[in-house]
């Protein structure tokens, strides 16, 4: 019999611990009040908060994170080295394809909805209301901005 071991207690680049309400070698259970939110890593535009639900997006393997953003938050056009799976927990995610953020294009994804940005696909996002999204996929994950000037890591 094969056993599946979920990784608990790993740290994201920002150093936030995995918020585990109950864990053993077979299961991870996280309640909403057990999530430990902190400032998102510098790869994200300022204003977002992030929590690691499971895994570590900077390493090989499955990861799950949540991103909390305020109304008016925008993520310029970018790509990822692996597929990005997004489920809207609350609020609305507006997502479009292309090399430049264009609020006249794209799709509004409401709470309960899902979006997939395949590896290497140029896409962007904006939020018209406070929103929480859950992102999962295979790591290592990263973000590469189409226009290097949009990369918040380069603006200090």
Chain segment 33-48, per-residue pLDDT in tens:
999 999 999 999 999 9
pLDDT of residue 103: 97
Mean pLDDT across 64-90? 98
Mean pLDDT value across the chain: 87
Mean pLDDT across 139-151? 97
Q: Which CATH architecture has domain 22-154?
A: Sandwich (2.60)
C-alpha dihedral sign at 100, 104, 105, 111:
positive
pLDDT of residue 27: 81
Does 83 score more than 60 pLDDT? yes
pLDDT of residue 28: 78
The tokens for 93 are: 């995610």
Does 18 score more than 90 pLDDT? no
Contact residues for 14 (Cβ-Cβ < 8 A; gap 6+):
38, 39, 40, 41, 50
Residue with tokens 């940005």: 117
Q: Is 149 helix (H, G, I), strand (E, B) or coil?
A: helix
Whether the Cβ atoms of residue 26 and residue 5 lie closer than 8 Å to each other: yes
Does 22 score more than 70 pLDDT? no
- Structural domain boundaries in the chain: 22-154
Euclidean distance between CA atoms 59 and 40, whole angstroms? 17
The three-point CA angle 16-44-77 to 5° equals 150
Does 17 score more than 50 pLDDT? no
136 beta partners: 64, 85
Euclidean distance between CA atoms 66 and 72, whole angstroms? 18
Percentage with pLDDT > 90 across the chain = 76
Q: How confident is the model at residue 15 (pLDDT cuts 50, 70, 90)?
A: very low
């Amino acid at each position: 019999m094969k056993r599946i071991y979920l990784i608990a207690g790993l740290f994201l680049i920002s150093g936030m611990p995995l918020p585990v309400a109950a864990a053993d070698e077979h299961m991870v259970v996280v309640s909403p009040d057990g999530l430990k939110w902190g400032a998102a890593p510098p790869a994200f535009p300022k204003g977002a908060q992030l929590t690691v639900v499971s895994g570590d997006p900077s390493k090989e393997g499955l990861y799950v994170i949540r991103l909390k953003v305020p109304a008016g938050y925008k993520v310029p056009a970018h790509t990822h080295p692996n597929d990005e799976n997004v489920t809207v927990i609350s609020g609305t995610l507006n997502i479009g394809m292309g090399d430049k953020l264009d609020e006249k294009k794209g799709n509004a994804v409401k709470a309960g909805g899902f979006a997939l940005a395949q590896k290497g696909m140029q896409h962007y996002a904006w939020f018209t209301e406070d929103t929480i999204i859950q992102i999962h996929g295979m790591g290592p994950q990263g973000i590469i901005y189409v226009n290097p000037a949009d990369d918040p890591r380069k603006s200090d």
